Structure 1
Amino acid sequence: MRPARLLLVGSVLADVRMAVPSLPERGGDRLATRTDVQTGGGFNVLVAAVRNGLPAALAGRHGVGPFGARVRQDLDAAGIPVLLDPDPDTDTGFSLTLIEPDGERTFVTSPGAESMLTGARLAGVSARPDDAVYVSGYELCYPDSGPAIAGWLDGLPEEALLVFDPGPVADEIPADLLAAVLARTGLLTLNRRETALLAGAGDPAGAVRALAARLPARARIVLRRGSRASVAAEADRPDRLVRVPVPAVVALDTTGAGDAHTGVLVAALGAGYDWPEALRRAGVGAAISVTRYGSATAPTAADIDAFEVAAGN
């Protein structure tokens, strides 16, 4: 588990973000107190990795309209190459994100070019043995992308680390695709809601046991639990739980916190940190990210170091 590159196979899209005093009731309305448009989705994971010293690349589609132009601009500025040509007929999709005062976010996603990843388009993408390959549940829900990605993963080098985040749509992933991806996953990361949806158990010990039964013996599981200590385990030793405390911070915006955690974790493994230390750095990275307003708010490795010095660690 020492990847040299993060290869994201899936979606980067635009985030249309609105801060609201509360979610509207059905049929109601709310006035946003703040609105902006940023690049999000898989971009958050890629940027987190790059800011922590791990090169990254996107093996996904994007479009040619205003959202696609924004995506290309931000990927280029971050030094993240795009391995596939843009779709000449479709714009990149967008996610409408409603952010409440406590930082909680709610999404509605309108898919675009990023959802049209076919087997033919993926055929020219080759993963390296030392890649960490990131896939999210969103891609598996798309009629084109889901089967294409699952088929492409069959040819993944055995040494490559498959990182899978089921995301908010965990319960909408077709059962056959979910089973196929879990059977190849080396690192499964999910939040509390996703844990309950996939494991059918709320307590970490029960959830880890349920998830471990669906994973290869060498896989590792990370349960992200917001402000509570995260829990990690190895699939072949599900009763040995590692609890990693999360720094106490005041959350401004939790958008992308899980992405920051994953990107920092993979980058820390690539930098040679052992598993417990990589998990700890990922927790610090996610905590810093929620104190910042925006999507791709993961800190740099230097930010994490400075935070730890200030905290006396």
Structure 2
Amino acid sequence: MKSAARRQPQRLVLIGSVLIDILMYVDHLPERGGDSVARRTMLTSGGGFNLLAGARRLGLSAAYAGRVGDGPMGNQVIADLEAAGIPLLLPRVRGEDSGFDIALVEQDAERTFVTAPGIESRLRLEDLRQLFLQPGDAVYVSGYELCYPISGASLESWLPGLSEQVLLVFDPGPLVAEIPATRLEHLLTRVDIISLNAREAHILTGTTKLDDATASLVPRIASRGLVIARAGAEGCWIASSTHAPQHIPPRPTRAVDTTGAGDTHVAALLARLAAGDDFASAAYQANVAASISVERPGPATGPTLQELASTLEAMHGSSLPIFSSQPH
């Protein structure tokens, strides 16, 4: 029985990629063959770092189980991990560097990425086998890792053997259509929490209605698993085997940068489940946390626990809205 671990994770362990984001804020994307002058730029750790930092800010212990190189990108990753109080669970790789991406952020906060993978994309089975996981750990994997030839094959072999006491959290990500179909379906049967955006839900289910999409994903994941379909400014939909599809409202906001908003949402959901909140309340607070993050430029901009509490208090006073459980 995994219900206790599923509902109250004690530590977030990210399996996969932390790399460097090179962010450029532009008025619009240049035409093919053209050029555009950025209004501002930023260089910082991104990818899985957004999730780890978001969890730490909200009081959930977090650790990085990925490969980091010793070049300039890897050095930046290590500096950012140390500053955030996030331990590295695997030894650094000598003679290799971590990857990076270039992200163009337009005025409406939409972002477009081009990624150059590094050593973080080559996670080996022997790396995974040396990890010491604890009961109550929440192991997070993204679709990026399942697309990479080396990491994907390693995870396909390793993930099914995870202890029943370990929670598996999965975000398919924008490359969901590139994940080998048999690998994806095999993984889904072990997933305890799946969090994905509307586009990814449509690709996985073939429907654009998020209530139908959340419902159709429930039988494809582990027994008593949780499904969260994020709808950006429209909040999110949630469902499980004991919870009919339910819309969780958003916090109205004006976005300036949506980079890392999904990571903030997942981090907040896990942190609030860890604190003992029920599924619907945790999802609502995740909506609020994500809305705070998009008001700030940069990828790892999730709120602290105090910032989230202050925002919720300003919205609702001393108590949160009560969501009915809506059982089947």
Normalising by structure 1, we get a TM-score of 0.97
- C-alpha RMSD of matched pairs (Å): 1.2
| Aligned residue identity for 1:271 | A
Counterpart position of 1:170: 176
Counterpart position of 1:42: 48
For structure 1, the residue ranges without an aligned partner over 5 or more in a row are none
- More deviation, 293-302/23-32: 23-32
Q: Secondary structure of the equivalent of 2:233?
A: coil
Counterpart position of 2:195: 189
What is the aligned length?
311
Counterpart position of 2:219: 213
Deviations 1:182-205 (A, max 9, x none): 110000000111111111110013
Please state if 1:290 is matched with 2:282. Answer: no
Deviations 1:233-260 (A, max 9, x none): 00x257x112111100110100000000
Deviations 1:237-295 (A, max 9, x none): 57x11211110011010000000000011011111111111111111100000000011
Q: Indicate if the aligned counterparts of 1:128 and 1:157 stay in contact, CA closer than 8 A.
A: no
Counterpart position of 2:8: 2
Q: Secondary structure of the equivalent of 1:74?
A: helix
Deviations 1:168-226 (A, max 9, x none): 11111111221121110000000111111111110013212332232123111000000
**2: CA distance between counterparts of 1:184 and 1:48?**
25
Normalising by structure 2, we get a TM-score of 0.92
- Equivalent position to 1:19, from 19, 25, 41: 25
Please state if 1:112 is matched with 2:95. Answer: no
Counterpart position of 1:28: 34
| Aligned residue identity for 1:270 | A
Counterpart position of 2:252: 248
Please state if 1:90 is matched with 2:96. Answer: yes
- Equivalent position to 1:270, from 260, 274, 296: 274
**2: CA distance between counterparts of 1:175 and 1:312?**
44
Q: Indicate if the aligned counterparts of 2:215 and 2:239 stay in contact, CA closer than 8 A.
A: no
1:120-199 equivalent positions in 2, closer than 5 A: 120-199=126-205
- More deviation, 192-201/74-83: 192-201
For structure 2, the residue ranges without an aligned partner over 5 or more in a row are 1-6, 318-328
- More deviation, 41-50/149-158: 149-158
Q: What is the identity percentage for the equivalent residue pairs of Structure 1 and Structure 2?
A: 47
